[in-house]
Amino acid sequence: MAKESGLGMSVAIDDSGGTARTISNDITSLDWATPREVSDITGMDKSAFERLLLLADFTVSNSGVFNDASNMSHAVFATVPSTSVARTTTITISGQVLACEAFYSDYALSRGAGGELTWTAPGALSGGAVPTWA
């Protein structure tokens, strides 16, 4: 496989009813991470660190442009403050798919001095399943 850009990626996030909505066109910036906790188990008899890998995690931070068209970003995130449901989040790039269940904890809107209306929506792993690229 060759090196590639992030152009042409797709992002789908469930609305509160559990229906996947592809909102890639509304997203202007996306950061995600799949970190692992690490436990330092170094004994006094060691001269270098000794560690164990622990739980896996997933976090995502989406930013985008307000779009209240049917089934687009506002419809997906407007229910974040009023519902407590995990939402399948699927990131697809170059045929590689990372999908997991995430809780979204905020849907923050911002109106800039120039008139732009943008949003951010952070999410975190919810279901205990290890996020795995497929």
Return the structure tokens found at 75: 């419809």
Inform me whether the pLDDT recorded for 127 exceeds 90.
Answer: no
Inform me whether the pLDDT recorded for 1 exceeds 80.
Answer: no
Q: Angle CA(26)–CA(28)–CA(32) in degrees, nearest 5?
A: 110
Say how many Å lie between the first and final Cα of the chain, rounded. 15
Quick one: what percent of the chain has pLDDT higher than 90?
Answer: 93
Query: In which band, very low, low, confident or very high, does the pLDDT at 93 lie, cut at 50, 70 and 90?
Result: very high
Q: What value does the mean pLDDT take over residues 111-125?
A: 97
DSSP state of 133: B
CA gap 60, 86 in Å, rounded:
13
Query: In which band, very low, low, confident or very high, does the pLDDT at 114 lie, cut at 50, 70 and 90?
Result: very high
What is this structure's pTM? 0.90
Q: Are 13 and 92 in contact (CB under 8 A)?
A: no
Mean pLDDT, the chain, whole residue set: 96
For 16-74, how does the pLDDT look when each residue is reduced to its tens digit (9 = 90+)? 999 999 999 999 999 999 999 999 999 999 999 999 999 999 999 999 999 999 999 99
CA 107 to chain CA centroid, Å, is: 13
CA 74 to chain CA centroid, Å, is: 16
Q: Are 109 and 118 in contact (CB under 8 A)?
A: yes
